[in-house]
Chain A
């Protein structure tokens, strides 16, 4: 027991610092992916509820493809595909050396694409929950299309979409564990290294699971706070 505490500690021979840096990488990757996924997802949802059939088709193709592919495969396709693409581009521009792609950026992009395709569904159902009269009211008092969206629809949309988005955040947090497969030093990779070196695999992978649980619990506190504050400004229907 004391041995395991020493192994996980921050002292001599303890793996604490490297695991802590892994936590930092995981959290920052999830936080960096979130805005990308939200923005793309919002625009995909706008496309899906467009009256223009071609826009709808393009948006639906996006979700069909990225919700149907395994996240790990998307990650590999983005990582290796970008690697090859950049290499080709470099050769074209006359650069002979090898170009490496950052696994953090690749992970961010791949997870963002997956997140956005799920987020678009959440936004779409939130759009459908907003009555048409809200738009008409906005136009009636002379707001432009963009103003109606920004000042009337968006505040309500966010409130309705929050539970679904919170769910997606939890999924995103767990999906970040996949980037350890392309070599990013996140929680799982750091604990994996520690497990291989010390031969205490159960201890370290158990710790990794516990850290993910703690992250989930912490984020559920934050989400609760956001939900309460957004409900305060909402109208009781």
Chain B
């Protein structure tokens, strides 16, 4: 009797219907805010549509593309160059030798403590005052070009940041990993290359991505030292036409660039941390 009573459950559980969503204050504010954003975006689209000027696009569109290439080239090469420079700097920061450690510390402190724009000015205008000396060593050809000066300043700047990222990531690997490899008789170099670095790079991936995004955004300042990157051509287009859409198009391109990179980085992180997901 009791058994049949227990078995007499209905096949499906009847749930009460979800209560209707109330219009709380938060919900009203949220909808208003989203409405505001939508209105702004529609306003932007309407503005760009009404200001659509095929001559302008034909004239300045290709220059924007050219500028975008310059931006990507500058950021890409300075990141790679900076990564190379950052290795000795990070080694210096971790070194037990007080002289090497303090030199590396001063380097990192200087480049992280001063504005990138001041560094770029220092390299471009500042080194110009040493023209005779530079000419005598034959380096003037290099420092005469704004692009090379910007590249040098960017590479040295990002090297300071990347050295700190690298140092933090290597420090984050537990000491037991070194000891474990040592107890297996693996040499120090191989331990670093095969055991420590792969683990450190997982930690460093996110900050590296942030650094690249910061460099893309920071690279806009080269427009101030006459390099025609995306921002440079934008300023040129604005100064010739006084049409505000010049800046809006640049904003859209920068946003798309950063968002693409961010999504690539998210994907990359998911891909290389697969083995850590439990």
Q: How many residues of A contact B (CB 8 A)?
A: 50
- Mask: chain B, 116-158; 1 = CB below 8 Å from A; 0 = not: 1111011001111110000000000000000000000000000
**Cβ distance B251 to chain A, nearest Cβ, rounded Å:** 6
Assess whether B129 is in contact with A201, with CB atoms less than 8 Å apart.
yes
Q: Which residues of B contact A216 (CB under 8 A)?
A: 113-114
The B23-50 residues at the A interface (CB cut-off 8 A) are 24, 26-27, 29-31, 33-34, 36-37
**Is B52 part of the contact surface with A, judged by Cβ < 8 Å?**
no
Identity of the chain A residue whose Cβ is nearest the Cβ of B130 in the assembled complex: A202
Binary contact track B48-59/A, C-beta < 8 Å → 1, others 0: 000000000000
* A178 and B34 form a contact (CB under 8 A): no
Q: Please judge, given known A-B contacts A68-B255, A80-B238, A209-B110, whether A174 and B129 are in contact too, CB under 8 Å.
A: no
| Cα-based distance from A25 to B119 in the complex (angstroms) | 20
Per the bound structure, the CA–CA distance linking A72 and B34 in Å amounts to 27
Task: Tell me if B203 counts as interface (CB < 8 A to partner A).
Answer: no
CB-contact partner of B115 in A50, A56, A57, A212, under 8 A? A212
Closest residue of chain A to B41 (Cβ to Cβ) is A61
A77–B247 touching, CB < 8 Å = yes
B190 at the interface (CB under 8 A from A): no
Alpha-carbon distance A77/B37, docked complex (angstroms): 17
Secondary structure of the B side of the interface? helix
**8 Å CB contact of B251 from A53, A73, A170:** A73
Q: Chain B residue with minimal CB distance to A68?
A: B258
In the complex, what's the smallest C-beta–C-beta distance from A119 to chain B, in angstroms? Answer: 16
A61-B37, A72-B221, A202-B122 are known contacts. Are A50 and B30 too (CB-CB below 8 A)?
A: yes
| B254 close to A (CB within 8 Å) | yes
Which residues on A sit within 8 Å (CB–CB) of B34?
Answer: 54, 57-58
**B210 nearest CB neighbor, chain A only:** A67
Q: Which residue on B lies nearest to A217, using beta carbons? A: B113
Give the contacts of A189-212 with B (CB-CB under 8 A): 192, 195, 199-203, 205-206, 208-209, 212
The smallest C-beta distance from B271 to any residue of chain A, in angstroms, reads 23
Q: Is A188 an interface residue (CB 8 A)?
A: yes
Bound state CA distance, A23 and B256, in angstroms?
36
* Distance in angstroms between the alpha carbons of A129 and B84 in the assembled complex: 37
Q: Chain B's nearest CB lies how many Å from the CB of A14?
A: 19
Q: Interface code B214-238, partner A: CB below 8 Å = 1, 0 otherwise?
A: 0011111101100000010011001
B122→A69 contact, CB < 8 A: no
Contact flags A156-186 to B (C-beta < 8 A → 1, else 0): 0000000000000010001111101100000
Is the CB–CB distance between B122 and A213 below 8 Å?
no
- Judge whether A81 is part of the interface by a CB distance below 8 angstroms: yes
Q: Can you list 12 A-B pairs with a CB-CB distance of less than 8 A?
A: A47-B33, A52-B26, A54-B34, A57-B30, A71-B220, A73-B250, A80-B247, A81-B244, A188-B118, A200-B129, A202-B122, A205-B122
